[in-house]
Structure formats: structure tokens, C-alpha cells
Chains A and B, each alone.
Chain A
């Protein structure tokens, strides 16, 4: 059932043109990293009159950007691993325990999924100040643990597809509760673990709300915070700012290219809930 060639051709051209317009901001920030400031003012969208790599050397020789990457990597890896692990454990508990208490607890946990982070921000801020965990990367990781509830939500939906007999058989063979979890359940639910990790990684890596509230010193800032603060630092030097932006975008774009498939899976997994 294929449309005639000319029709597909028109569609191609139309969709490409539209997509290119949507992509202009991306082109705009990338092309301007190769311009001097005067060049950028003269023609913001044109090619550089002379390709300049000064912005790149300036940004890439500045050690703060590497520190910001390190901080973001630390918070993201630790935060996401813990979230997914806590969520998977809770989902597993739901699967093996059938008591009424567990069911009630699970239902209450699902309510947590409805509560936006903003609702608890002010009290948690006070608490973390009291614990000296403000301006501290571990304090930030602690805040991100709230995402465990979302992980639990998605993982328990997927786990329901696992036949209980598998666990029973493993038990009969003498495997302990934790062995079953580690050796059988986790490998079985690998697809959802990947999907959930991809989603949470995109959230934590890109988050601006929590770092801007909880992190004040330049040594502790995450990459998104660094880009935001670069605006005042390079207030007049736009090309330098754009270069910082592009450097910050690169890891996420690479991540996206490798995980694209799982993102679409996740869209579907997230929608099977309800």
C-alpha cells in the first residue's frame, strides 16, 4: 500500500524542510562556536568568514568544566544506580510477599509517584541544611533517591509478567531469597532496568532545579549549573557561551544515540501503567 512516488517525494521535501526549521537553534549554537564575536554579530546564521577555534581552546583548557563533568557523572551514576536498585528490591518484595501489609505499603508507595518534588523541597532544604548536606554532592544524591518510587512503579509493572513458578523452582533448588533476586530476577527484568536507568539518567544529568537550590560553590556544580553560570561569566562573549553549551550537550547526545531504542520502549512501558 505505497503512495505514488511524487507524493512520497513531496512529503520528504516538506518534512525535511520543517525539521530543518525545528533544528535551526541547534545549528545556530554549533556554528557560532567557530566564530569570533564580531563575526557572529555580522552574520548570526551564516558560515564563519574564518573558522576560529579560539572558543574551543578557551573552554577546553579551563579545568572547571572537567570538574563539573566529574561532579555530574558522580551524582548521576550513584543516584541512578541506587534508585533503580531500591525500586527493584521493592518490586521484588511485592512479588514474593503476599501479606496484606505488603499490599497496603505498595499502594501507599504508588501514591508517592503523584507527589511532585516541589512539594517537599522547602522542608528537605531545611533538613539538609541541618545535616550539613547542602552544597554537598552526596546530599544531592540523597535528594535524587526520591526517584526510587518512580522506578518501583515501572519495575513492578514489568515484574508481574514473570511467572511465580520460576521463583518457586529456584527455591526448591535451594536458592536463597537474595540469590533468587540477584541471580534470576535481575537478569530476567534487564530490559526494564535499562529503560528505567535511561530515563532516570536523563533526568538526573539534565536536572537544574535541585543543583540550583542545593549547590552553591563552583567546585561542586554540575554541568547544567555551570552552563547557567557561564551566562554571567561571558555576558558579552556569546560564542564562548555557546561553546560551553555545546560541550555540555555532547555527552547527552551521544547517550541519546546509544539509547534511542530504549527511550521509545520506555515511552510504551510508562504508558502501560494506569
Chain B
């Protein structure tokens, strides 16, 4: 390890005019850049090249059976907008992303406020809420597919029947019910995690604020809307960004819970990508979908960056 860098000659050859005289000459600069090299290699081979390849393929009729790729312009993109499975995937993915973001945010903030109070068994309650974030979403999807099953051993239908005499509900085989079920399981899986994020921010709010507000006679409701909520804005930006981008990337939960069904009702972009690209070998078509997906995620990502900087400017 010692021999790796033996450039510590007392008189640095050049570059002394720079502020950081210790940086040394080109040799040192090369060594410095060498540390960046592995990340650059990863970036080029796992991001840049495949992105460029995918973009090129999206304009061709490249398939696994016809390795000769012909340039066909935007035909793949037009095909996506005609294909019912892909359209359904686009629609449900957006619905899932927006639905979970809105519901989780509305539930996680009040939950965080409660979890931040002092009560017996608080740690236990927090851990239970957080728990669904620990196992793989794929496993949670499978577990819920058993719970929501219409078979006699499906626990939700059995319980509803035993306690309230409600007939079996086809949670996963009706289009709208299946969409709703997937979204609600997604909410169940994420709300505790996001509540913990909010709790971390709540703890940073000085208690004096509340004491002063109390002296001034503000009600709990007023305190929530005038102190808590505004000070949680940065947390809301982060949480909703994570929910939105995570929601757009959703795959494992619908795949294991409904396998995209009934029909294509809960199909997702990622599942459509894998079905067309990997299983059917329609690389051109799948690449076009991937390009569209990348653009959507990038737009969401950059608007988040914009909003964050706007907000941090306002609060500083």
C-alpha cells in the first residue's frame, strides 16, 4: 500500500502557484482522478451506454428473432399508444404513484404527530408501523394475495362473513377493486416508514414554539396548521418525491399480488417492460417504453429539485 503512492518529495515539481500547493503536479492530479475512475466506469457501462443503446433501439424494429435492426422512426412509440396492455400499464402506474403519494402523505403526518407524543408502548407501536418497510415488497404482495383471496381460506372474506355476514368480495378479480386493493396495500406498506421520516422532522421543531402558542391561546388545531404543517414542508417535499418516484417504479407489489390482472388492470410500466423486452424479445418496443418512462421520471425528479431549492430559499 505504501508503494502505491510515493510522490511525497519535499519539493513539489510544479503547480505550486496554485492555492493548494500540496496538490502537487500532474502525477498527483492523475492519482486524484484515479479515485473517480471506478465510479466513472460504472456510470459509463451501466448508465450511459445502455441508455444510448436503448434510445437507438427504440427507433428500430429490433427483436430477438430478427437481429437486423431497421430504422422505423417513431413507430414503436405509436405502437405503445395503441397497445391496450401498455396503455393500461401507463395509466395504472400513474394512478398508483399519485394515489399512494396523496393517501400516504395525508395519513403519515397525523400519524407522525401522534407517534411523537409520549405514551405507553410508543416504541412498540412505532416498530409495528415501520415493520412493513422491512421485508421485500414482493413477499408482502404474496402475503396479501392470500389475505385477499376469495377462497375459503382467504382471511379477509372469511372474517367479513363471520363477523358481519358479508358475502365474498372479489378483491383481486374486479378491475376497480383490484386497483384499489393494490394501492391500499401499497399505502399500508409505506405509511409507517414515512411517518418515521416526519417524526424525525417533528423532533427538530423547538417546543418553545408550542409553549408560546399555548400562552397566546392557540388551539391544538391552530397549532397544527400554523406551526407544525409549515415547518414540515421540507419533509413533505422529500417524502412526496420518494413516494412519487418510487410509485412510478412500482413493480414487485402488483406483480406478486395480482400479476397485473385482472386482464391488464393493474399492469405496470416495469412489468410491461419486462414482458415485452425480456419475455417476448421485442427490444425496440420495450426500449421505446423505457425512453418514455425515463423522461417522465426525469421530469418529476427535476421539478422536485426545483421545488426543494425554492423552498429552502424561502426558509433561509
Q: Which single residue of chain A is at the shortest CB-CB distance from B114?
A: A15
User: At the interface, yes or no: A45 with Cβ under 8 Å from chain B?
Assistant: yes
Q: Is B269 an interface residue (CB 8 A)?
A: yes
Taking the complex as formed, is B54 at the interface, i.e. its CB lies under 8 A from any CB of chain A? yes
Contacts of A85 in B (CB 8 A): 38
Contact across chains for B54 and A119 when beta carbons are under 8 A apart = yes
User: Which B residues are in CB contact (< 8 Å) with A34?
Assistant: none
Chain A residues within an 8 Å CB radius of B278: 121-122, 125, 213
Whether A168 contacts B277 in the complex (CB less than 8 A), given A19-B124, A25-B143, comes out as no
A274 to B305 CA separation, bound complex (whole angstroms): 6
Which residues of chain A are near B192, meaning CB under 8 Å? 22
Contacts A122-B283, A231-B142; A174 near B39 (Cβ below 8 A): no
Shortest CB distance A134–B (Å): 10
A160 within 8 A of B: no
When C-beta atoms are compared, the residue in chain A nearest to B285 turns out to be: A122
In whole angstroms, what is the CA distance A3 to B23 when docked? Answer: 60
Q: Is B86 an interface residue (CB 8 A)?
A: no
Per-position 1/0 for A90-122, Cβ under 8 A of B: 101110111101100110110010111111111
Interface residues of A in 132-189 (CB under 8 A from B): 143, 145-146, 148-149, 152, 168, 171-172, 174, 176-179, 181-182
Contact among B8, B47, B158 for A171, CB-based, below 8 A: B8
Contact B38 A274 (CB under 8 A): no
- Chain B residues whose C-beta falls within 8 Å of the C-beta of A249 in the assembled complex: 134-135, 139
Once A22-B128, A93-B36 are accepted as A-B contacts, the answer to whether A12 and B293 lie under 8 Å apart by CB is: no
Residue of B nearest to A92 (CB): B35
B200-A268 in contact (CB<8A): yes
With A12-B119, A146-B42, A177-B28 as contacts: A206 and B47 at CB distance below 8 Å: no
Residues of B within 8 A of A12 (CB): 119-121
Tell me the chain B residues, 121-171 only, with Cβ under 8 Å from chain A.
121-122, 124-125, 127-129, 131-132, 134-140, 142-144, 146-147, 152-155, 158-159
- The yes or no answer to A75 lying at the interface (CB within 8 A) is no
| A228–B274 touching, CB < 8 Å | no
Contacts of A60 in B (CB 8 A): none
Complex: A42 Cα to B290 Cα, angstroms: 47
Q: A25 — which chain B residues lie within 8 A by C-beta?
A: 140, 143-144, 147
Contact with B along A212-246 (1 / 0, CB 8 A): 11000000000010011001000000100110010
- Chain B CB within 8 A of A208 CB: yes
- Is there contact, CB below 8 Å, between B155 and A123? no
State how many residues of chain B have any CB contact under 8 Å with chain A.
Answer: 103
* A residues in contact with B1, CB < 8 Å: 176, 178-179, 182
Task: Determine whether B174 belongs to the interface, using a CB cutoff of 8 Å to chain A.
Answer: no
Cβ contact of A176, chosen from B2, B50, B153, cutoff 8 A: B2
Closest to A10 in B: B119
Docked complex Cα distance between A125 and B276 (Å): 13
Contact among B46, B131, B136, B238 with A26 in the assembled complex (CB-CB below 8 Å): B131
Least Cβ–Cβ distance between B8 and chain A, in angstroms: 5
Say yes or no: A116 contacts B249, CB within 8 Å.
yes
Nearest-Cβ distance from residue A205 to partner chain B, whole angstroms: 8
Question: How far is A120 from B42 in the complex, measured between Cα atoms in Å?
Answer: 13
Chain B neighbourhood of A115, CB < 8 A: 47, 51, 294, 297-298
Closest to B239 in A: A271
Whether B92 is near chain A, meaning CB under 8 Å from some CB there, is no
Contact of A116 among B54, B118, B154, B294 (CB under 8 A): B294
Across the interface, name the chain B residue whose C-beta is closest to A145.
Answer: B42
- Shortest C-beta distance, B261 to chain A (Å), equals 15
Q: Considering the chains assembled together, what is the distance between the CA atoms of A30 and B270 in angstroms?
A: 31
- With contacts A105-B36, A115-B47, A224-B139 taken as known, whether A125 is within 8 angstroms of B277 at the C-beta atoms is yes
Residues from chain A with Cβ under 8 Å of B137 in the complex: 206, 208
A108 to B40, CA, bound (A): 10
A92-B121 Cα distance, complex, nearest whole Å: 43
- Can you list 17 residue pairs at the A/B interface with Cβ under 8 Å? A3-B118, A22-B129, A22-B132, A89-B35, A93-B32, A118-B290, A120-B47, A121-B273, A126-B283, A148-B38, A176-B6, A178-B5, A182-B1, A227-B142, A238-B146, A245-B142, A253-B135
- 4 smallest beta-carbon distances between A and B, as pairs: A176-B5, A206-B136, A90-B39, A93-B35
